[in-house]
Amino acid sequence: MSKKVTINLVKSVIAGFYGNGLVRKTRLKNEGYNYNEVQSAVNNYLKYGNMNGKTEVNKVSEVKNERMKTNENGKNLIKSFESCRLNAYKDATGTLTIGWGHTGSVDGTPIYLGMSISQQKADELFDNDLERFENHVNGYNDKYNFTSNEFSALVSFAYNIGSITQLTAKGTRTKTQIANKMLEYVYSKGKKLKGLVNRRSKERNLFLSSDELIDYPRWKWKRWKYYHRFYEWI
């Protein structure tokens, strides 16, 4: 008989403690959980705010509003480092990319060299990607009770790195330790990059700042290539 799926398990899955895909499935199975039951609970939680998928219609918006969203400081910070390109290209890691650093596919079609999208589609993909990383960071909010700027700084970090799992040591580090640890994620392929140093510094400053609007100037494309998205390998 499979172990009971709990809200803490669901939040741990969302936070990335169990990895993704086959890794997630294997880890859950090894711990005695039914993968399909867990995944269903995760999907319901992300959509309805609870595990069983039954939320009163008049409370749906209320539940969604309880989940933190990236503020303007966070969005401006991300866009100051991510260049919007409407034609597909390979980033510094060789990953096919389009729009505001979007990877994977567009409307079900894998990104390919020669693909073009509109600005509206680029912004739509950005919002979808942002929501995905917001869900990830929200998985840690019960433990940390983030301020708006703390949350938004971590979303920016995750947007670039892919996750905050290692940064937070799976939720075991303090906020001060997290802020200081940010500054270590400045290497790509073994090289320390100035662009990443700048990004981590601004993310740390946002994390430590009061919740007021900050102006982030946009970087030029010729510098963007040095600190575009790379993945959590540290």
C-alpha to C-alpha distances, 196 to 69, 97, 118, 158, 224, nearest whole angstrom: 24, 19, 28, 13, 10
Q: Is 82 a catalytic residue?
A: yes
Query: Among 31, 37, 62, 82, which one carries the catalytic annotation?
Result: 82
Helix (H) or strand (E) holding 152: helix 148-161
What's 138's DSSP letter? H
Backbone torsion region of residue 170, taken as left when φ is above 0, otherwise alpha when ψ lies between -120 and 50, otherwise beta: left
Distance CA 65, CA 211 (A): 18
SS (H, E, C) 115-129: CECCHHHHHHHHHHH
* Cα R_g (the chain), whole angstroms: 18
Residues identified as active-site: 82
